[in-house]
Amino acid sequence: MARRFSILLIAFLVAAAWLPGPVDVLASALDAPLRQAQDDGRLTAGDAQAIEASIDQAKAEGLPSAPFTAKAEEGLAKRVTGRAIIQALETMRSDYAFARDALSRGGRAPSPDDVIMAGDSLRLGLTRQELDDMAAFEPPASPAELATAARTRAALNAVVFPARLSDDILRRGLASGALSAQWAQLFRVVQRTREAGIPDAAVAQAATRILADGGGPAELLQELGLTGRDTRKAPGKPSK
Amino acid sequence: MNVQPRTDTSNDDLASGLRRLGAMDPGEDFAARVMGRIGAAAPQAGPKRRMARVVEWLTEPRSIRVSPLGGIAAAACLLLALGLFFKNYGGFENGATPAGLSPVTFVLAAPSAREVAVIGSFNGWKTAGWTMRNDPATGLWTLTTALPPGSHEYVFLVDGTTPVTDAAAALSVDDGFGSRNSVLLVKNGDGAAL
């Protein structure tokens, strides 16, 4: 009896460990909501097939498939039409392909995360021309730095930061190699400085200086006379 | 019950009685009558009796024999189940923040809503486990959770059908469906100064 119990448990564990392996987890995650949407009459069988085909095509083109599955899930959760989901996936595929090509310039090999960050930046407000221009900077930056630059620029565009000033900051950042991921939050500094009445041009000047010295946004805040603190830590306690 | 010592007289009486029995005719339905009496006298296994047996079974200490392999397998099953539970139900209240995650509180003012959930890139746009708690006095819906560092897109799903962007979000982005998603930037330790 005990032996049979053990065998059953082990079989269960083996099955649980095996399932996520060979089965495409992302595709299977979409199966249930697609079926539910069809049962509810919100999606035709043709739309469901077209959605799956669009995701398969992105995968076949070597693009990271997780964001496509997530976008389809988002559309289903928001109860938009099947046509709208297919259109969104097509736009996304085009953006990601463009981003991948821009980041690959000069034989560089962007990671899937780099492609996702740069591709999503196009949806956030970055233009293709701006991404192309940054990819052409000399000396060439790494794909990770380019992706960060794309994200930073997109967020600055979203808060209507002057394009010329953004150019100056990002050119300096890419040239110095100091454009760390934290700089993607530069738009937050801009929002804070605007609340404090500090002109955008002053922020740009300070940012280029800090980037030339290899600093980050925290130093920029101090340079501008603003300070920030992680409220989860005691005052004066440094971050680890 | 009275127990009397057996004597020669009582033995004789018993032998005599037994001899008389041999001459008696019990009748053809003797067996049926005996069984009928036995059936009527037997205690009925009613619901109360069965319940008592269940309680007794549950409360009585027992020894369970499990092989070491079976014990390890059972423990692994338990861990797997716990892992799946915490993976699928990320929302938590008043708990310690897991390592590498930052505490986040979502707030929406929607006094007339019947139900509000947060859906976003961090939970696969699914409402399960992400329903917000309502304070009827203020009309505020809140949910406290922990998210990994990075950029997350989200909306509030009101009454299961209506997506609503977060007016308090620092950024919003085109969702590709003709509407917008709110953007939440969760900072890591290095970016905490912002």
pLDDT of B165-182, one tens digit each? 999 998 999 999 999 999
Residue B14 lies in a domain: no
The neighbour count for residue B63, using CB atoms within 10 Å, is 4
Residue B154 lies in a domain: yes
Residues of B in contact with A96 (CB under 8 A): none
C-alpha torsion angle, residues B16, B21, B22, B26 (rounded to 10): 170
What is the C-alpha to C-alpha distance for residues B86 and B81, in angstroms, rounded to an integer? 9
Q: Is the peptide bond before A139 cis (omega within 30 degrees of 0)?
A: yes
Which tens digits make up the pLDDT trace of A57-110?
A: 999 999 999 999 999 999 999 999 999 999 999 999 999 999 999 999 988 899
**Cβ-based burial of B58 (10 A; exposed 0-12, middle 13-18, buried ≥19):** exposed
* Phi and psi at residue A94, to the nearest 5°: -65, -45
Closest C-alpha to A105, from A140, A130, A139: A140
C-alpha torsion angle, residues B156, B158, B159, B160 (rounded to 10): -40
CATH of the domain at B163: 2.60.40.10
Residue B136 lies in a domain: yes
Note the pLDDT of residue B55: 83
Beta bridge partners of B140: B109, B135
Q: Give the DSSP H or E segment for B34.
A: helix B30-41
- Written as one string, the DSSP assignment of A108-150 is ----HHHHHHHHHHHHHT--HHHHHHHHT-SSPPPHHHHHHHH
Retrieve residue A177's tokens: 């190699």
Percent of chain A with pLDDT over 70: 83
Which tens digits make up the pLDDT trace of B88-100?
A: 554 454 456 677 8
**In tens digits, what is the pLDDT along chain A, a chain of 240 residues?**
556 666 666 666 666 555 544 445 555 678 888 998 999 888 999 999 999 999 999 999 999 999 999 999 999 999 999 999 999 999 999 999 999 999 999 888 999 999 999 999 999 999 999 999 999 988 889 999 999 999 999 999 999 999 999 999 999 999 998 999 889 999 999 999 999 999 999 999 999 999 999 998 889 999 998 875 544 445 444 444
Retrieve residue B70's tokens: 């079976």
Residues of A in contact with B151 (CB under 8 A): 120, 151, 184
Distances (CA, A) of B14 to A104, B22, B51: 113, 13, 45
Bigger pLDDT: A194 vs B53: A194
Checking if the pLDDT of B191 tops 50, the result is: no
Q: Are A89 and A53 in contact (CB under 8 A)?
A: no
What is the C-alpha to C-alpha distance for residues A151 and A230, in angstroms, rounded to an integer? 23
Q: Tell me what ipTM this predicted complex has.
A: 0.77
DSSP state for residue B192 in the 8-state scheme: T
When mean pLDDT is compared across A92-96, A140-144, B8-12, B103-107, the lowest value belongs to B8-12
Please judge whether B177 and A75 are an interchain contact, meaning their C-beta atoms are less than 8 angstroms apart. yes
Checking if the pLDDT of B6 tops 90, the result is: no
Residue B178 lies in a domain: yes
What is the C-alpha to C-alpha distance for residues B118 and B127, in angstroms, rounded to an integer? 7
Domain with B169, as residue range(s), is 102-186
What is the C-alpha to C-alpha distance for residues B145 and B90, in angstroms, rounded to an integer? 7
CB-nearest to B73 from A6, A74, A125 is: A6
CB-nearest to A88 from B65, B177, B194 is: B177
pTM, two decimal places: 0.69
Note the pLDDT of residue A166: 97
Please judge whether B177 and A158 are an interchain contact, meaning their C-beta atoms are less than 8 angstroms apart. no
Instruction: Tell me the domain boundaries of chain A.
Output: 48-223
Q: Provide the domain count of chain B.
A: 1
Q: Is B112's Cβ below 8 Å from some Cβ in A? A: no
Please judge whether B125 and A70 are an interchain contact, meaning their C-beta atoms are less than 8 angstroms apart. yes
Reduced to 3 states (helix: H, G, I; strand: E, B; else coil), residue A94 is helix
Please judge whether A151 and B151 are an interchain contact, meaning their C-beta atoms are less than 8 angstroms apart. yes
Please judge whether A92 and B176 are an interchain contact, meaning their C-beta atoms are less than 8 angstroms apart. yes
Retrieve residue A225's tokens: 């006379």
Q: Is B87's Cβ below 8 Å from some Cβ in A? A: no
Please judge whether A182 and B178 are an interchain contact, meaning their C-beta atoms are less than 8 angstroms apart. no
Stretch B18-35: mean pLDDT: 77
Please, which residues 114-143 of chain B have a Cβ atom closer than 8 Å to chain A? 119, 121, 124-127
